[in-house]
Structure 1
Amino acid sequence: MRFGGIVLATALALGACSSSDPAPIEPQRSATTPTPTATAPPMPDQARQDSPEGAAAFVKHYVDVFNYAAATGDVEELTRLSAPTCEGCQSYISLYRDTYAAGGYFKGADWTIGDLRLQEERSVTYATTLVKADPGPYRESSKEPEQVSSGKDNQVSFALQRSATAWQVTQIGLGAVQ
């Protein structure tokens, strides 16, 4: 599940060609396999700016990349935008990578963010927002049955730090909606 644990094992099914097949047949892609043309959302220019507006645009972009990683299992861009020390970020990265490696998937339940409240403290910018997630089907691995996530709303805070050239998420905090 989206807010759940890590997947245990990887399973692959291979088909064999019979002697009547003159050439190998490419396996059909399932809904759980990212298409080769799928790419992470491009970062908007505003999300590169060292300003409050740039920080807000970066958070919106981060959530777009987060949703892309959940839908495809491609965590490369999410990893680049997340600090290695961000435990929440690394948990999601591992969850998505391991789920897809095990033949699992996430469908729907994308995060949709509301208005952002920004607060700057020393070298950290905090962006807090209401995140809505609709219920969506998921499968932890090819060996597990499909389930449906609860799809609840959470208040989420992102801690951002800026290097000389880019923003990065250093912490994600989830809180219940009051």
Structure 2
Amino acid sequence: MSFVRRVALTSLAPLLLLGACAEDKPDPPAAEPTSSPPSVTASAAEPSASAEPTLPPEAEGTGPEAAEAFVRHYFAVANYAQASGDARGLRSLGTDKCIACQRSAQAVEDIYKRGGQVVGGDATVDDVRVTNPQNGSRPQSTWVEATVTNAEQTVSGSGKLDGTYPAATVRMYFELIPVGDRFRVTQWGQK
């Protein structure tokens, strides 16, 4: 079994986690809980695949609450990209240095360019924890951990990723940096 297929089969969303394996997995700082509500379905919090989600007001800014809302928004945009094949919004949420972001967007685009599709796999985000390290290589970074559950997903027309993937739940980390008055993702992966 190929490395990419193995990652897809054991990860939460095959398209989202394709690129995560390419990055070194740092040790994110321990996260402190925020005062967030316990669970939000990213797809329910944002418009369906017929309209690309827009950045909600609570995700604007660079504080801990904005970081949490930004990660939830990231998954709403990922849900949209997987359902529609339009990954431009997903690309715009990551920096050029976010390998996982770029590869995930590319995987979605490649499937749809080949005439394929992705059915299901919507993410639900729970237990979000935010921390702001004061000392480190990038002190401006904000680390976010979240439990992410994806519904069953079927990929067709992609070749190597074709198949049905069972629902799964994983703990993920995100490193966010402020760019202007909002965050962008510099890396993410499975904890």
- The bucket for the TM-score relative to the shorter chain is 0.7 to 0.9
1:140 to 143, 146, 157: 157
Q: How many residues align?
A: 144
Q: Secondary structure at the match of 1:106?
A: strand
1 or 2, which has the higher strand percentage?
A: 2
CA distance in 2 between partners of 1:80 and 1:152 (Å): 26
Q: Compare CA radii of gyration and give the structure with the larger one.
A: 1
Q: Secondary structure at the match of 2:120?
A: coil
Residues 109-128 of structure 1: matches in 2 within 5 Å?
109-121=121-133, 122-128=139-145
CA distance in 1 between partners of 2:124 and 2:161 (Å): 26
> How much has 1:60 moved relative to structure 2?
0.8
| Unmatched tracts of structure 2, length 5 or more | 1-7, 20-48, 134-138
- Alignment-derived partner of residue 179 in structure 2: 163
My pick for the range that moved more, 144-153 or 165-174, is 144-153
135 and 162 in structure 1: CA distance in 2 versus 1, 3 angstrom threshold: same
- Alignment-derived partner of residue 60 in structure 2: 48
Q: TM-score, with normalisation over the residues of structure 2?
A: 0.69
2:146 to 129, 149, 152: 129
CA distance in 2 between partners of 1:146 and 1:90 (Å): 20
How much identity, in percent, do the aligned residues show? 28
Q: Alpha carbon RMSD of aligned pairs, Å?
A: 2.2
> How much has 1:87 moved relative to structure 2?
1.0
1:82 to 90, 94, 100: 94
Which one has more relative contact order, counting CA pairs under 8 Å at least 6 apart? 2
Give 2:107's aligned amino acid.
Answer: L
- Alignment-derived partner of residue 82 in structure 2: 70
> How much has 1:40 moved relative to structure 2?
1.0
Q: Secondary structure at the match of 1:115?
A: strand
CA distance in 2 between partners of 1:52 and 1:80 (Å): 21
Give 1:169's aligned amino acid.
Answer: V
1 or 2, which has the higher helix percentage?
A: 2
Q: Secondary structure at the match of 2:127?
A: coil
Give 1:134's aligned amino acid.
Answer: A
144 and 95 in structure 1: CA distance in 2 versus 1, 3 angstrom threshold: closer
- Alignment-derived partner of residue 14 in structure 2: 3
144 and 166 in structure 1: CA distance in 2 versus 1, 3 angstrom threshold: closer
> How much has 1:147 moved relative to structure 2?
2.3
> How far does the alpha carbon of each residue in 1:59-84 deviate from its partner, in whole angstroms, 9 at most, with x for none?
11111001111111101111111111
| Unmatched tracts of structure 1, length 5 or more | 7-36
CA distance in 2 between partners of 1:147 and 1:47 (Å): 34
Give 1:150's aligned amino acid.
Answer: P
